[in-house]
Every structure is written in structure tokens, then in C-alpha cells.
Structure 1
Amino acid sequence: MRPGETATADDWVVCPGCAVLVYRKRLRRDLAVCPECGHHGRLTAAERLDQLLDPGSAVPLGPVVPPRDHLEFVDTRPYPDRLRAARAGSGLEEAVVCVHGRIDGHPVYAAVMDFRFLGGSLGAAVGEMITRTAEAALADRTPLLLVSASGGARMQEGALSLMQMARTSAALGELDEAGILTISLVTDPTYGGVAASFATLCDVIIAEPRARLGFAGPRVIQQTIRQVLPAGFQEAESLLENGLIDDIRPRSALRQTLSRLLTFAAARGHRWPAAGDGALVRDPEALPSRDAWETVRMARDLGRPTTVDYLGYLVEGFQELHGDRVSGDCPAIVAGVGRLDGRAVVVVGHQKGHEPGELMARNFGMATPSGYRKAARLMRLAAKLGVPVVTLIDTPGAYPGVSAETGGQAGAIAENLRLMAGLPVPVVAVVTGEGGSGGALALGVANRVLMLANAVYSVISPEGCAAILWKDPAAAPRAAAALRPQARELLRTQVVDAVVPEPDGGAQADPVRAAAALRAGLLAALDELREMTPGDVVADRRARFRRLGTPTGVTSV
């Protein structure tokens, strides 16, 4: 309050999250977020648009479609009476507001639901308006933003309301076919037919903290099967842990997050200038001969830059995306979208860490099935949007535990190999540290496979090879010498196409220079692919792996 002002009872509200009194004007300034506990209160569609879009940019789309009472439905009140009350209470004609606008100058079509209008229920009119918005986005080839707040399908319209799930899903399918980015912003609550259609079909799903999302609401579950629900059930934090959404962003950061995604989408048409070839070593004789075991130890050095480190140096506006949309979010795989020298890229990489705590949290860079499925989901997004893929490989191998095996580890790796072989966009893979077995190759089926000078790449770790063939793990140095996992040998056999030089003392001695060398190498490799058609890049990649292991696949030294 300002000096001299006197507060009245109406100036205060009780936060439903922590039951603390909050000054109403402060709550409004904070976008209905409680300053004490962070509870995100509901916003109206108008408030949401004001928060997210550039001032004055929102242009309503067409006339609002009036709902119909084709069933002449009556519960405790006739359906027309409920509609009139909803209009009077909300000031809206229906439960969704559809506009064309801009976010930081980037055009976007937006359909924003308002829970005040019959619980944001999905009826025929709402389905029509969302479908029209998607069709407008398709016609203009402009990203689509869907903001959900709904209890589900509108019961008063019977089976026709159910059909809106298919109707809106089909509209999103057309956007997928056209390569247009779709973003879902999940707010509290989002249930039923909305959750089981357009709210969870978008390329990127962002949720507000503690927003609830699910098909069956808690009341339905409890009353139908009498099951006791765990704490946090269906809340955003649980959904993120289970791999069902991409990220949780507080309301104050939503606009920035959406801007980052739209900037990425807008950068798809940018082209890199022609790059020189001096950034890469292609002649194995130009590389020094190194002891195999010493190279393995260098590749495993905990000081070497990780995928997250390289992202900080190389990728502008990186937005990490989480989850496989099925079962989990593997921390050993980092994946997301951003810009490399102004051009949109999808980046996927293994993540180890530098300290014991991070190594354990990241599972020492050993991915689980959900990690490989997350990688596949991001690569499919790249294919949809026509964006190149960059993968950074640094793993001792795929996670060998029981949970991974019962979760389908072999199948998840196999699916990635097949998927990458047929991706219609350029793919460049870089072994930055340790490239171990099929867990590394699951990110390595690329048009151009690069390798840092002190990295290693092998069918098995030296310790594993020694244990199996020498029956003695201590024979690891001898096994390393036999496996020849160094860059010089792999370049000679064309397993890798080129080598990225490292600073004296290795990438860990000067991460900034190492990142600069990696950037130059990536740009040179991507430049080789920039004129290829989708069919060309697929044919190039398949031909590359087809020749490996044949007599013509080995160069003489």
C-alpha cells in the first residue's frame, strides 16, 4: 500500500495454497502468484493474453461460434440457462478466446481457454473455434499456441462433445504434416477430453507449477475404483518426472520461454555461410600416434567439457525439452532446441558430469530406454520442422540394469538406429569423450561422424573386453591396444569422417578453445550437407554405413 492508504477487507485475499492473507493489488501485480508459497491462481483468458502477447498485438479471430442445445439437456437447470449464466459471469461468448498476435515480434496463433465458462468444457463450439485457429495457423504457416484450462468434455452436448477430441486432434495432425510448430501451455486444471486430445499432442508441452493434468480427475478415480491417490498425483512436478511434459515454468518466465521457442522456429529458414575445411582433420597421418590406454584415460577425464558445457558455449537460446511422453525422463540424455550461429538446430547428447554428485544424478552418462526414446522424440521433431540434428556422444555405454532391460533397452536402441538412418534432415554426430558400444551408436547414425582428437569409440570398454577375453579386468591396457579406439585408427577405417583438434593438454585444459574448435567443425560438416534434399541426406547416410566393413571402406596408410 502507498503511504496514507487505509486497507479494507476487500483489499485482501486468502491464498488457497497456504491460507495466508495477500494484498490484492500485489497479487494482481504478481500475475496471481502468491508471494508466500508460489501458488499459481487462475487467470482469465484476457489476463493470459495480456501476459503473453505483445501489447496491442492480439487480433480476435472471426465471429464466435454459438453453442447449440441439440439434446435439450436438463440437469438441475436447462443447458441454455447455464450458458446465459456463464456468459454473464465471464463476459465471454464461449470457453475459449482465439486470436492472432505476436510474442517478442514473432507471429503466433493462440487459443486460450477460460475455466470460468462452464469449467472450460470442450463443446462443439469450442472444438470448432480451436480447429479454425489451427486451420488459420496452417494457412499462414505460423506456430500455434494452445492454453488449456478445462474440466473435460461438455456433458450437456452428449456424444458431439466427445467428437471434438477427434476433430481437434485431426487439426493438429495437419499441422504436423505441414511442419508447423505447436506449443501447449497446461494450466490448472486440465482434464478429460482436453487432456486426451490437443493439450497433449503438441510438439512442446509446458506446464505451470503444480498444474494438474490427467484423463480421469481425482473425484472420478476415487468414486469409481475407490483408489487412494498419492500426494502430488497428476501435478506438473510428477508429470515431468514421469516424462509426460517438457518443462515446468513459473508464470513470470512463460513469455520468455515461449519467445525462445518461437525464435527457434523462426530460425529454420536461416542459412549458414559457406564454411572452410580447415577446421577438420581428414588425413589419419596428420594425427599423432597415441597410446591407446592413455587416450582412454584422457577421454574419461572428469574435467572434459560435457554436453551441457558445450551447449552453453555453442547454442544460443537453448531450451531443454524433457521426457519420452511414455514413462520417464532420463537424466543421462540432454535434448532440446536452439540456434547454432543463428540457424535452428536440435541437439541431443549424453551427459556425465564433473563431480560425484552430478555423475550419480546423471547415471554416469549411461542412458535408459526413456533416454533413447526422448532422443527419438526430439529427432522426430527435427524431421517435422526440417531442422538439422547435432548429437554429442559421451557414454561408457547404455545402462545395463534390470530396470533398463525390462523397460526394453535393446528395442529402444534399435528403434533409434532405424529412425536415424531414415531422418530426412542433416545429422552430424560428434564423439566428444567416451563412445561406448551400442549406447553411443544409438546417437551416432549420422551423415557426418566427427570425433574430438582425444576421444575414443569402441564396441566395448577395455575393461569389459579384458574381463571377457583375458578373464582379467587388469588387462584393460592390453585390451585397449588391441581395440584401437583412438581417433587416428577410426579415421583410417572411416568409422569417423573427420577429427576435431583439441587444445594442448586436451579439451579439459581450455574448454573455451575446445568449444570454438567444435563449433568450426560442426559448421564445416553441416556446410557439406546444406544443399542436399531430404532424399539426398537419407541416401548419403545409408550409403555411408553401407560401405563400412567392406574392403573399399578401408583406406591404405
Structure 2
Amino acid sequence: MTATMDAADSVRREPEPDWVSCGRCRMLLYGKRFTRSAKVCPGCGWHSRLTVRERLDALLDPGSAEPVEPAGSVRDPLGFADLVPYTERLDRARRETGLEDAVQVVSATLGGRPVVVAAMDFRFLGGSLGSAAGEAIVTAAEAALAWRTPLLVITASGGARMQEGALSLMQMARTSNAMAALDEAGLLTITLVTDPTFGGVAASFATLSDVIVAEPGARMGFAGRRVIEQTIGETLPESFQTAEFLFEHGLIDGISPRSELPQLLSILVGAAATPSEGWADGVADPVLRDPESLSPPGIEEVVRRARVPGRPTALDHVANWTDGFVELHGDRAGSDSPAIVGGLAELNGLPVMVIGHQKGRTTEELVRHDFGMPSPAGYRKAVRLMRLAAKLGIPVVTLVDTPGAHPGPEAERTGQANAIAECLRVLGGLPVPVVTVITGEGGSGGALALAVADRVLLCENATYSVISPEGCAAILWRSSAAPAVSAAAQALRVGAKSLLSLGVADGVVPEPPGGAHRDPAAASTLVRDAVISALRELHGRDGEDLVAARRARFRRFGSAEISPTTRETVK
């Protein structure tokens, strides 16, 4: 660790107490053991606050941290004094912490990869955001920009520093502009929320990161709990503004215990790294492109196989394909949808963004994931992840398996049609490779929202249609009887051979005999190899060329020159 950090750690360093009391459950804890466990209570999981030194030692590769010194800032711009002059408060905070201000900036490595870190220390005037703290955040962002590395911000703050008046308020815009510059440069930003994170920090750089992770129980919000209760005259629930509350409402990507943070952050930083050489070597392309090579079973059997719960789900595929996957959650607007999952992963050494519909194998799982029928929040989450992939310059892989978008009244009230339309528009214009595999049911616009791709592949027993056979039979045949449903499925041409002939699918991924549910692992490996082969073909293509070709592909559907026998024109 650096000399600066050593000095901070040595200031007022008192002997470690033999026993400490948990701040939540009041369990008596042996001091040295509590410290060794990163100050997490073994009984209730309460996470005690850490100093900057403790925080960086716990997260970063040993010995890798080097200080990044911010420029000087105004000391007491208002000549402020309350019960104690501001200058005296500053001097006391510096003596007690050994820090110049509330934010420490270092360059370091995390999992062997470079990163710039701006870490807040709540001991310094409650981690408040003043001119010096704002300068430190901006310095960290500028260092990340200069060195082309990810930025990790670790927050702990009560809000803006009142003693600096309007200049403190200006730090919100100052730091937000610095984060915007990293967005424009395509650099990954991560926020680790620790307890507490409030006010101007929460309403600026803390919530502008690409990925927001919180420690269990960490609180974050704009207004504090007491202020809100006094304003509305109501008592808020105990969980209000906690990490768990934020996660439930789609405002953060995840919650991670302190012991798991180094690995999680390492995977995230790695997802923005340069692809490993030879990431596609040795992978044979299994995709079938000649309709005549397919001998499907009857259409009723195809539809049945497409819906069998034992088929690999999106999360099954990700688990089979990758060693590291960080699922990202939330639409950042107050909700999440478990029917769409997505996140950053490395596929054979190639960083990718994987987004897919998620059903489940058991009834419990199906219910928990809304039977794979996304609400608007799911599609808005997907759009957020698509845009992140475009920012980082990494491919998007989408896995489609849904009966359709959620048809409920709440979905309509919250903008289902608009959410799907935005998916179509954003996905169609992404300047990165996009590969879609329809792995089960491809139901209507709810499926197409994730399928505006450069390469659209279909599993051998998957289906893709404007409406379900049952829905079509009920409307046009005015019957729900099996013969009508079968006739509708046949007429809609929902199977792989027909879709390949029509050019809607670019290729078909074979399945194990009898269907993917008979051997899910083998089925998943075939899909993986198909995806890698498609990405190998698209890798290195110019972003503008990709968008132009993708739009041209979909422009031709339904044009007069296309017929089932001239599918080459579609490709």
C-alpha cells in the first residue's frame, strides 16, 4: 500500500478492542476475529463501516495501489462558521483520518487488470461532497480516461457539504460531467454502494455508473429517512432505502457480501477487457443452412418440444458456456422483470453481453419468472444492457424463449408497446455484432424485441410466429380444438424448416435426438458453438457496416422480390 495510505492508517491508530458489539444484533464479537472477517458479523451479516485503507486492502491486488493526487481546491470559500468554524472542522477531520478530504484516489489492479478507484471515507465529515471531494472524483475519472481503464467508485456519504454552500451543489454537475466523458469514451464505470450513500452523491456520480452493486443492508437515497417521514407524516418500513429495497425496485444491479466483492468486481473489470487471442479456435460450426437437410417431426410434436420445460433456459446456457457471469438487474426506473435476464460474461475469452428470456424447469421457477413473459421493465432492462454493450464495444447474444410479452393490465399501464418498440429500435442500431438464437418458443413481438440481429439462428425444435397456434385457431378457426390448433400451426409455418426456407432464420442449430430436453448439456454446447461461429464471422466488422447490413436484412422482408425459393436475397 502507498505511503499516503500508510499515513492515513497510522493516524490515531488505537489498540484493537478485545470485544466489539454488532451494530445490528448486538452479538458480542471477538475483536480480532471480527477484523479478520472484514468486519462482518457472523451472526446477522451486518457490515460494519471500513476505513479507506481497510476497503482498498480488501478489494485490490496486494501492493498494487498507487496514489493519484487531485489538484488543490478552495479551503473555506464562504468563511463558514456554525458552532465551530469550518476550518477547524477540516483540520480536526484531517488529523483524525490522515486524509486530505473524503475521497481517496488510487490506480491499482483488480484480478490482474488495471483500474482507477475513487473511495470515500465516511469518517471525514460524513463523506460529504465538497470542492475537494468533487475534485478527487473528477481526477479519478480523468485518470481513467487518460489510461483507458475502468473506474470504480466506492461511495459512503451523507450528501453535499453545507459549509461550502452553492459550490458544494455545483459538485453534482461537475462529477456528473466527468462520468459523461467516460460514457462517451466507452469506458466501464462501476459503483460500489456502502452504508450510507445519500443526497448529492446519490443524485450524481454514484448512480450514473454502468453497474451499481451494493453491500447487504447499505442505504442509498436522495432524501434521508427522517426528512421523508417528517415531510409526509408517516413511518416508513424498516427496509426502506436499503440495498434490498433498491434491488427489488430495479435501482441497482445486485447485492454482494463483502467477501465476494473482489471476485465479482474482477469479473466485471474483465468483461471490458480485450478479447483473448484464439477465442474462436477449434470451434466447429454446427449450423444447418439447407432446408432440405432437415427432417422435422409432425408440427404438433415440434410445438410440444419447443415448450417442454426440460429445455435449457437462458441461465442454463450461460452456466454451461462461461466461467464468469455477472447478472445485471433493473430498469433503473423502479422495477425489474425476472422474465428477462442479462449480464456480462466471457465466452471463450470473448467479452459479451448475454440477454435472454428466462422460463424455468419447475412450476415454482416458471411462476417466479412469469413464465418467460416480460413486463415493460424487462424490455427496458434489456435496452439498458444493449446500450452498455454498445458503449463497451462488445457483442450482444440474445436467447429467445417466450410465449410472448406479458399481456396484463399493469403491463399496458406501464407502456408495454413502447418498451418493445424501443427494443426493436435500439437493437437494430447497435454498432456491435448481434447474434440471436431462438431456443424454444419465439412468440410474437415479445420474441422479436430481442431478435433484430445480424444472425438469427433457430434451434431444430424451436418455433417462431406472429401468434401462438392456439391464438390463431381461436381467432380464425373460431375453435380451440386440437385439429384447429394443428391446422393453424401448419398454416403459420412455425417450424425450423419453413422459417429457414422463408429466410427468417439464417440457420438451424441441431438438437440431440428427440429434442433438447433429452440431453440439455449437449444441446447447450451445440448452441454455444453456433454462437461462437457466428461471432467469429462478424468479429472485426465496422459498426456502421453492421448496422447498415442489419437494417437492409430486415428491410427486405415482405418485399416483392422475395419468395420462399429465393432466400439468398434475404441473406
> 3-state SS of the aligned residue for 2:342?
strand
1:548 and 2:557 correspond: yes
1:503 and 2:512 correspond: yes
1:77 and 2:84 correspond: yes
In 2, the alpha carbon distance for the partners of 1:50 and 1:552 equals 65
Q: What pairs with 1:1-400 in structure 2 (closer than 5 Å)? A: 10-62=17-69, 65-268=72-275, 272-273=279-280, 278-400=285-407
Deviations 1:395-415 (A, max 9, x none): 000000111110100000000
1:524 and 2:546 correspond: no
1:420 and 2:427 correspond: yes
User: What RMSD over aligned residues (CA atoms) do the two structures have, in Å?
Assistant: 1.6
Instruction: Give the C-alpha shift of residue 11 in structure 1.
Output: 1.3
In 1, the alpha carbon distance for the partners of 2:150 and 2:326 equals 16
Deviations 1:66-88 (A, max 9, x none): 55111111111110011111112
**Aligned-partner residue type, residue 298 of structure 1:** R
**Aligned-partner residue type, residue 204 of structure 1:** V
Instruction: Give the C-alpha shift of residue 553 in structure 1.
Output: 2.8
1:462 maps to what in 2?
A: 469
Task: Show structure 2 runs of 5+ residues with no match.
Answer: 1-14, 567-571
**Aligned-partner residue type, residue 449 of structure 2:** A
Deviations 1:204-241 (A, max 9, x none): 00000010000001122123332321220000001001
2:521 maps to what in 1?
A: 512
In 2, the alpha carbon distance for the partners of 1:349 and 1:384 equals 20
2:487 maps to what in 1?
A: 478
Instruction: Give the C-alpha shift of residue 269 in structure 1.
Output: 6.9
Contact 2:103 2:121 in 1 (8 A): yes
In 2, the alpha carbon distance for the partners of 1:246 and 1:63 equals 30
> 3-state SS of the aligned residue for 1:414?
helix
Contact 1:387 1:425 in 2 (8 A): yes
In 2, the alpha carbon distance for the partners of 1:275 and 1:26 equals 49
Contact 2:22 2:28 in 1 (8 A): yes
In 1, the alpha carbon distance for the partners of 2:555 and 2:297 equals 29
Contact 1:268 1:386 in 2 (8 A): no
In 2, the alpha carbon distance for the partners of 1:549 and 1:270 equals 41
C-alpha change, 1:439 and 1:63, in structure 2 (3 Å) is closer
What TM-score comes out, normalization by structure 1 length?
0.96
> 3-state SS of the aligned residue for 1:429?
strand
Contact 1:290 1:486 in 2 (8 A): no
Instruction: Give the C-alpha shift of residue 177 in structure 1.
Output: 0.5
In 2, the alpha carbon distance for the partners of 1:395 and 1:314 equals 21
**Aligned-partner residue type, residue 450 of structure 2:** L
In 2, the alpha carbon distance for the partners of 1:499 and 1:553 equals 20
2:496 maps to what in 1?
A: 487
Deviations 1:436-455 (A, max 9, x none): 00000010100110000000
> 3-state SS of the aligned residue for 1:75?
coil
Contact 2:16 2:31 in 1 (8 A): no
Contact 1:352 1:358 in 2 (8 A): yes
What TM-score comes out, normalization by structure 2 length?
0.94
Contact 1:145 1:183 in 2 (8 A): yes
Contact 2:443 2:466 in 1 (8 A): yes
Task: Show structure 1 runs of 5+ residues with no match.
Answer: 1-7
Deviations 1:319-369 (A, max 9, x none): 101111112111111100101111000000001001000000010000000
Instruction: Give the C-alpha shift of residue 527 in structure 1.
Output: 2.0
Instruction: Give the C-alpha shift of residue 552 in structure 1.
Output: 2.9
> 3-state SS of the aligned residue for 2:273?
helix
**Aligned-partner residue type, residue 391 of structure 2:** K
1:3 maps to what in 2?
A: none
Contact 1:205 1:246 in 2 (8 A): yes
Deviations 1:3-44 (A, max 9, x none): xxxxx9941111110011111111101111011111000000
Contact 1:64 1:93 in 2 (8 A): no
Identical positions, percent: 60
Contact 2:444 2:466 in 1 (8 A): yes
> 3-state SS of the aligned residue for 2:272?
helix
1:453 maps to what in 2?
A: 460
Instruction: Give the C-alpha shift of residue 528 in structure 1.
Output: 2.1
1:537 and 2:543 correspond: no
> 3-state SS of the aligned residue for 2:109?
strand
Contact 1:271 1:343 in 2 (8 A): no
**Aligned-partner residue type, residue 357 of structure 1:** E
**Aligned-partner residue type, residue 553 of structure 1:** I
In 1, the alpha carbon distance for the partners of 2:254 and 2:95 equals 36
In 2, the alpha carbon distance for the partners of 1:92 and 1:530 equals 47
Deviations 1:181-215 (A, max 9, x none): 00000000000000001110001000000100000
Higher mean C-alpha deviation, range 419-428 or range 502-511: 502-511
Higher mean C-alpha deviation, range 280-289 or range 130-139: 280-289
Q: Aligned pair count?
A: 550
